[in-house]
Amino acid sequence: MALLEVENLNVEFRGDGGWTRAVSDVGFSLDENASLGIVGESGSGKSVCALSILRLHHRRMSRMPGSRIRYDGRDLLTLSNRELRQVRGADIAMIFQDPMTSLNPVLTIADQIGETLRIHQGLDRAAARRRAVELLDMVRIPDAARRVDEYPHRLSGGMRQRVMIAMAIACRPRLLIADEPTTALDVTIQAQIMQLLRELQAEIGMSVILISHDLGLVAEFVQRVVVMYAGHVVEEADAADIFTRPLHPYTEGLLRAIPKLDHDARRLPAIPGNIPAAGNWPQGCRFSPRCALAEPACRAAPVPLDALATGRRLRCPPRRAIARDGMPEAVV
């Protein structure tokens, strides 16, 4: 049985004009001690999916009709608030995009890490502080015994991100959701953070969902990749297949846009146009206005996400029947 199963995830937000659907019919699963990457441009719905797993959207301003999110066999959408609080931070933890806005500026690092330990493990303040020092050591923060009493603004961006990781792994979660964990960090610190996550995953044995627009990071970390565009999944496959043999034109466009050493940075390939706003999606394939391969059928009606015999899922009629090497891809 999979550790996490997301089925038919639909997320809607209330606005002045009523309800607007931001994510539609998203589904994926994740096994124990496995890693999954969710990629796409800003506005594709990646973070909305991540926050939905832990029901972190505003209750009165959001809803998830027809959705199912099962963790270890339990549907998280049916849990009471009390039951869900027992899951958050203990069984499922999350690293948010911006540590400076995620950390409380008026509490010390010891207080913020200690809160999780006191709630989920029943430690007293002294024991929680000692454990916080151990966690800072674990995430490679130097002079942890002193840093634990610092406030967030006294730490560098890389150290703040490591504090977020320390908070996330404090209770040794079975699932870690990392939402853009290296945003605004320089390349050297990015590499250190990703290496740290890799080591912690091996040590703790947790599953990881890595959400990023940086395909280079994803390629080095995950086993399977979900590509999202305009609120739904357009392709899913093993990481090796995605990066060596992409089928959806959007996936190809994302890979072409990765800077390479032998390319002129001034002529970096780009996907023309922009992601349509939620609620203003085209009638047919949502990528068709930006796609050079679009056919009349692509624009006429919604395109289903087909499961192919190779284990890949694909939302593209022109590429469904004929793969890149000319061999047919059977639909299951």
φ/ψ of residue 267, rounded to 5? -120, 35
Q: Which residues contact 252 (CB under 8 A, 6 or more apart)?
A: 246
Q: Which amino acid is at 37?
A: G
The radius of gyration of the chain's CA atoms, rounded to the nearest angstrom, is 21
Q: What is the pLDDT of residue 325?
A: 45
According to the model, what pLDDT value does residue 100 have? 76
Q: What is the pLDDT of residue 263?
A: 57
- Amino acid 19: pLDDT: 95
pLDDT score of 284: 92
- The pLDDT, as a whole number, for residue 266 is 61
Q: Which amino acid does the sequence have at 156?
A: S
Residue 167's pLDDT is what?
A: 93
**What pLDDT does 214 receive?**
84
- Give pLDDT, residue 291: 94
Q: CA-to-CA distance for 40 and 214, rounded, in angstroms?
A: 9
Sequence-distant (6+) residues with CB within 8 A of 156 are none
CA distances from 313 to 241, 260, 279 (A): 11, 28, 24
Query: For the chain (length 332 residues), average pLDDT per consecutive 10?
Result: 94 93 96 96 94 94 97 95 92 87 92 93 94 93 95 92 92 94 81 88 93 88 96 96 94 86 67 90 93 91 90 88 50 52
Residue 126 carries which side chain, given as an amino acid letter? A
Query: Looking at residue 52, what DSSP letter applies?
Result: H
